[in-house]
Amino acid sequence: MNLPDHCIIPDWPAPANVKALQTTRHGGISAVPYDTLNLGSHVGDNPLAVARNREFLNRLLPSEPVWLEQVHGTIVANADHASCQPRADACIARHRAAVCVVMTADCLPLLLCDEQGTVVGAVHAGWRGLCDGVIETTVLAMDVPPQNLMAWMGPAISREHFEVGGEVRDAFVAVQPQAAAAFVGGDHGKWYADLYALARLRLEALGITKICGGGHCTYRERERFFSYRRDGVTGRMGTFIWLG
């Protein structure tokens, strides 16, 4: 698969038949503030520009992706049998060439696959979905032993730039006391949350130890990534996975 330089290929030990890619903000036609490869049709961008951007991505994929209506929940769609834009925050596939995708602009995009290359998954993990168990529901839907799974964490906002209220920390700690280590205290009762660390804790608790990625910050890397926390009105990136 020949990909443009502005796309990211996940660096993880996935089987050869597992294909994945991560877009950045480059390579499309959307105008400021969605410049340029905005894939989100719900953010106020010109619909024609979004359609053209998606058409560009489709040329790199074996089939039309299953675009989700993401709502920061825990519902998992199945790309093998999905209807038009299901309301969900994760997607799995077992059929060859069925493409899963999640869109983000600070939330954590997480990819999953098994060591045998029989099932793949994509997860949109904002703090609400992550706390409520979107990773757990996705792993359950994949229906393979968790210890046979591996994960790749795509570009998300880093702890240094992700300020949250005390209720967010309390919610995570109530489920998993060790999650307290993923928060650093800020001013006026606020906290800085590490989405990467929180996701890693959830994955490890499930028995998933092969965890890669997690080295980017969407907020800090302004020239490369969209960031809702930084810019407010902005585009969305896509994280894709399928079986080849």
User: How many residues comprise the chain?
Assistant: 244
Residue 27: count other Cβ atoms within 10 Å of its Cβ.
16
Phi-psi region of 186 (alpha: psi -120 to 50; beta: other; left: phi over 0): beta
pLDDT of 3: 65
Tokens of 159: 């702890």
What confidence tens digit (pLDDT) does each residue in 191-222 have?
A: 999 999 999 999 999 999 999 999 999 999 99
The average pLDDT across 220-226 equals 98
**H or E element at residue 151:** strand 149-153
The average pLDDT across 60-68 equals 96
Domain ranges of the chain: 18-159+209-243
CATH of domain 18-159+209-243: 3.60.140.10
CA–CA gap between residue 207 and residue 150 (Å, rounded): 10
Query: What mean pLDDT is reported for the chain?
Result: 97
- With 0-12 / 13-18 / 19 or more C-beta atoms within 10 angstroms meaning exposed / middle / buried, residue 219 is buried
What confidence tens digit (pLDDT) does each residue in 100-151 have?
A: 999 999 999 999 999 999 999 999 999 999 999 999 999 999 999 999 999 9
What confidence tens digit (pLDDT) does each residue in 32-48 have?
A: 999 999 999 999 999 99
Q: pLDDT-based confidence at 5, cuts 50/70/90?
A: confident
pLDDT of 97: 95
Q: Is 148 helix (H, G, I), strand (E, B) or coil?
A: helix
pLDDT of 193: 99
What confidence tens digit (pLDDT) does each residue in 171-195 have?
A: 999 999 999 999 999 999 999 999 9
pLDDT of 180: 98
Q: What DSSP state is assigned to residue 31?
A: P
Residue 2 has pLDDT above 60, yes or no: no
Percent above pLDDT 70 for the chain: 98
CA–CA gap between residue 179 and residue 8 (Å, rounded): 29
What confidence tens digit (pLDDT) does each residue in 73-104 have?
A: 999 999 999 777 899 999 999 999 999 999 99
Phi, psi of 193 (to 5 degrees): -105, 140
